[in-house]
Chains A and B, each alone.
Chain A
Amino acid sequence: MSKNKFTKLKFENDHLSEDQLLMLVDGELSAKEASNTRQHLEICWTCRRELEKIEETISTFIEFRKKIQTPLNPAPPNKWNNFNRLLRETQRELEQPKRSWLNLYNFSPFQLRLGIASIAVFLITVLLFQLVTVEKISAAELLDKASIKQNEKVNSTSQPVVYQKLRVRAGDAKQMDWEVWNDAGNSRSKQTISGNQPKESIDVLQELSEILQKNRMDPLKPLSPESFKSWHGSLTDKTDEITENEAVTLKTTNHKISFDGQISEAVVRFRQNDFHPFDQIIKVKTANGEKTFQISEVNFEVVSLNTLKPNFFDETPISNEIVKITKITPSPSPLSSASPEATTSPGKEEFSATSLTLRTENNNPKPELTTKTIATADLEVEVLQLLSNAKADLGDEITVKRENGVLYVRGLVETPERKNEILNSLQSVRQNQAVKIELNTVAEAVAKQKSPPSGKPTKVDDLETKTLTSAAQNDLVEHFGNEVEARRFASNTVNRSSQALSHVYALRRLAKQFSAAELKNLSPEAKAKWLNLISSHARNFAANSESLSRELGNVFNAPRVSGAVNVEVNSLDDLPRAIESLFAMASSNDRLIRSALTLSDDDGKFSVLKAPQFWQSLKNAESLANKIAALK
């Protein structure tokens, strides 16, 4: 926070800003700023109250963290048992070269003479080498630094989208330009290519993406420190060479070639000033000899998502093909039986298990798409449908996500019975190698329909036994004639509102489950199933919302209103926006209902239930949900 900003705020407004107050509490103001702030606090009650609020919140958070969060967090699963072993291993690794040279008595005189001669040659070489260069950092350090610098650049933009324009030259093929936009925050990307021969360009790009994928590089970030680091880290026998002139160049040679399409050497060049990689050459061993790819950066920018058109990522000229490419499995090679991965026990690690299965099943030297062990979007819909059948999709607790070709179903369930119930519902996909189910039993609820995210019904139940009153209690008691009925009504209504909201949460998750490109690629059956799920949650929400309007309306004499929403839902493209609008309305309505019917220190909140806008908003949400439900 700059001094200028501080001064400006202080004198333009009569009160201190939240920034200033928080920085005062945190001791982040300069002595002069702190003194000015304290002087103001002495005379201003309003600001003092604000300061107290901030301090109260901090104190509650610290208390929560200490008394609840930390005790509830599980202990480390392996109880740190591996650390001492790992430390000893590292120690051995670090000290090994020293010991071998110090044990001179183990060598024969001839070996010693030979050794001394070798040392002399080595020292001379080193001295000569040092004349032309300086001490180098390691490849890992260089890559780490480049990665940190890049992250720094990316994180300085809100909702960053990384744009890279790359020029690719592959062997004798003509060069082409490849543009990639990566929106990491939403896990989506867009790519375009341009070249004189589009067909040839697509082929080259497909081949390159396969190679990158096979070598653990990132096909969506082909020229990035992370991608290079990932490959570099996967090599078991390598040499690095770093030179520094106008650029910092890292050349890594892979000495262990074990499959067709493996990278034997890669050279990446970084800018001196910010360690940004701008050029990369990879040499690949293929059945027909060696092939070279050069990827040079033409442009790199980090832009904010807000500056792009809203449907920018939906217009995906070639991304579908590329997405498929990333699912291609490693092809077998004559050397594959010698690969260490071939001895990996199945099930030990999902990625190597997948590779192993495919390698043994697929004898075709040309890589091909597989649907047997790679999770598809259709399979994802199938699993979502099965979970929905078990009503396990009404909460945050179960997530379904595809990662590296594996579909993960993860979640926490309340009881062993519930876990079995969900596992039974997933019976038809449990044997599928592409599905990995990680359900854990803990003593907590999972199903959102029983325990919505707000947890508010519990609070209302508590209130039934306590003497505290809600804002609406007097009116409710007047209507129902006694307190018990009034509280039961309040509790039921808040429950229903939460239930309604849980369907909107489910809608949101469904909408975010697939990108527009993935949706377009779904089979007709899968798409119908997915739409059916959307429709079912929208209908359930509408029904709950209708009941809320009716039941609350009876008590509070609701004005007659009909739904009037401007949001149109005519196609799949309209769906995300419609669901977000519905979410905004539903969560706002739920908040209003809860604030009026549960414990509150502000009677004014109750009056919202009497405002025409509230009834209009309830009807609008219902009407929009019906529109969503009607989408075919």
Chain B
Amino acid sequence: MPRERFNSWLRNEAETEVIPQAELWNTMTDTISLEEQIEQIFEALKTPVYQYLLSVFGEPEEAEDLAQDTFLRLYRALHKGQEINNIRFWVFRVAHNLAIDKRKHQQFVSVLQVDNWDEVEQNMPDRGLNPEQIILQKEKFEMLYQGLKLLTLNERQCLYLRAEGFRYKEIAEIMNIGVPTVGEYLRRSIKKLGGQNNE
């Protein structure tokens, strides 16, 4: 297959300007080497990618390995001369696909690494709140926490990708699903998080 055709497939609809990539591309000057550029991109994106993988797929060690692998793939791709217009989108998509491939048989994923409400509650920040506000905050977070537990894997992926700032079209491409499906998953997620799980 001609390289050009493959590249155009990679670029497919990724030119949305929603996530400003200026801070990443600013590093892409001729004055520093590709390896240094990768190191800078890694520094900028490693935490969001790790948090996404951890929140959606579970295990810390695996999340760390997959995140690192993603940036090494980015390095290989750029080294080969591949054109990547939206680095952040590319990185999340690759990380997502690596995780899906790796964990295709995994069914159960904890909502939080600390999967127990008591523990969550102990760690809840209450600085500057009066007792009534603390209770209200607990109420609202607990409802959300219980709602998070009800999310399916697809809903969870959509929700966390949306929280990362991706548009529906980008989420659809990362997850290999249709744009209306993204809307539907997000609607269900919001409903569950809002404590209305009647579906």
Contact = CB atoms under 8 A, between A and B. Distances in A.
Contact of A152 (B68, B125, B176): B176
A63 B144 CA distance: 11
A82 interface: yes
A74 B113 contact: yes
B71 A83 contact: yes
A80 B68 contact: yes
B121 A458 contact: yes
Interface stretch (A54-62, A202-210, A288-296, A351-359): A54-62
B42 interface: yes
B6 A68 contact: no
Interface in A1-51: 1-2, 18-19, 22-23, 26, 28
B142 A57 contact: no
Contact of B75 (A62, A90, A242): A90
Contact of A455 (B71, B107, B142, B190): B142
Contacts of A26: 162, 167-168, 186
Size category of the binding interface on chain A: 35 or more
B38 interface: yes
B72 interface: yes
B87 interface: no
Given A28-B168, A77-B60, A248-B1, A61 B119 contact: no
A505 B121 CA distance: 23
Contacts of B19: none
Nearest to A135: B3
B185 to A, nearest CB: 11
Interface on chain B toward A: helix, strand, loop, or mixed SS?
A: helix
Nearest to B114: A72
Contacts of A599: 135, 139
Size category of the binding interface on chain B: 35 or more
Contact of A458 (B68, B118, B131, B163): B118
Contacts of B55: 65, 69, 73
Given A57-B190, A69-B55, A28 B115 contact: no
A54 B139 contact: no
Contact of B117 (A1, A136, A458): A458
B159 to A, nearest CB: 7
Which of B60, B144, B175, B190 has the most C-beta atoms of chain A within 10 angstroms of its own C-beta? B190
A22 B185 CA distance: 11
Contacts of B97: 144, 148
Contacts of B149: 453
Contact of B51 (A73, A91, A444): A73
Nearest to B176: A152
A63 B181 CA distance: 26
B114 A444 contact: yes
12 contacts: A26-B162, A53-B194, A68-B125, A72-B120, A76-B64, A77-B61, A78-B61, A152-B177, A444-B114, A444-B116, A454-B117, A454-B146
Q: Which 4 A-B residue pairings sit nearest by Cβ, starting from the closest?
A: A455-B117, A76-B64, A444-B119, A152-B176
